[in-house]
Amino acid sequence: MKKIPLLLMGCGGVGRQLLHHIVSCRPLHSKQGIRLRVVGVCDSNSLVLASDVSTKELDDASLMEVCRIKSSGSSLHSLSNFGDCQVFSGQEVVKKAIDIADRFGKSTGLAFVDCSASSKTVEVLNQVADLGCCVVLANKKPLTASLEAYDKLVSHPRRIRHESTVGAGLPVIASLNRMISCGDPIHCIIGSLSGTFGYVMSELENGKPFSKVVNAAKSLGYTEPDPRDDLSGMDVARKGLILARLLGHRLSLENIKIESLYPLEMAPNVLPVEDFLVNGLPLLDKDIQDRITKASSKGKVLRYVCLIENNRCEVGIQELEKDSPLGRLRGSDNLLEIYSRCYREQPLVIQGAGAGNDTTAAGVLADILDFQDLFS
């Protein structure tokens, strides 16, 4: 039985779903001769470790208790009296996590998994990669940090996986890496990388006002509690930057043209979320409808897309042909059109569910298992 020690950072929706996947897949992995041995789980304040990480793991009951506690909004610190585990808090968290990485990096290896949403994990990830550990990311922020930090992180290509940072579980990163490694130059990528924007733009085609569509998307759980977190375009820009850097473009977020679907005077630091939903959104209806009407008069449709071409990356609304893959897109799916030497006239199209905790966590799990040959 090949055992893969694992330490998880981040116990939000994706992190908890990953733990559920690990537990539910025990019978399957046993048949495959694999055991994912979760030795530690941490949130922003606390780290829970097995009592002896060298020989023991957090059992499945402890992992489910972690999920229950975090779902209730509590801290992992409350696990200090639960089962056979040890809990660290404050400044001890990072120090202990690095100690664990150092110990396993010199022996069996360790899968260090970042399912947080923090911009502060990049330094830890670089340290554990230097120590010989494998790094798996669902968190986009380390890959969109400074170019210096990015270069250091990806300098260990055999020990880093981040498929779930773009398109959740869709094979976007893997497909691009295969094309790059076989010498098929990629000229252009254009894609709908947000389930929220995909839903909004396709619903607008049905004649519904922008304000009502956004409120409906919020009620369906397609947006963050404050929809402006999605409508700002920043999440799409981060995904675009990850893809652009993968293609070799030396870009930072500051170099990306980002179209927000709300003006600065409606920003979160100016207008409370309820005021934005009730009073702000309806003021945007006419402008959006005018753009839809203009595009329709040309036989085109509007899509919120990311475009990477000629060493530039931009995100925003574009008019597209109705019969193009993106023009035909409906609902919350992600879709990318990839143009290269081999796919010059007919692009490589990748489409499917590109959001959701279940899909994203499944992609993370697949990335972890992709490392199995590196573990002794």
The residues assigned a catalytic role are: 239
Return the structure tokens found at 185.
């130059």
Q: How far is CA 217 from the centre of its chain?
A: 20
What does the radius of gyration of the chain's CA atoms come to, in whole angstroms? 22
| Contact residues for 142 (Cβ-Cβ < 8 A; gap 6+) | 114, 119, 121, 122, 125, 149, 150, 153
3-state secondary structure of 193: coil
Report how far residue 138's alpha carbon sits from residue 63's, in angstroms, rounded to the nearest whole number: 19
3-state secondary structure of 133: coil
Report how far residue 225's alpha carbon sits from residue 217's, in angstroms, rounded to the nearest whole number: 11
In the numeric block, the tokens 């779930």 are attached to 164
For residues 88 and 114, the answer to whether their CB atoms sit within 8 Å is: no
251: phi then psi, degrees, rounded to nearest 5: -115, 160
Q: How far is CA 116 from the centre of its chain?
A: 9
> How many residues does the structure list for the chain?
376
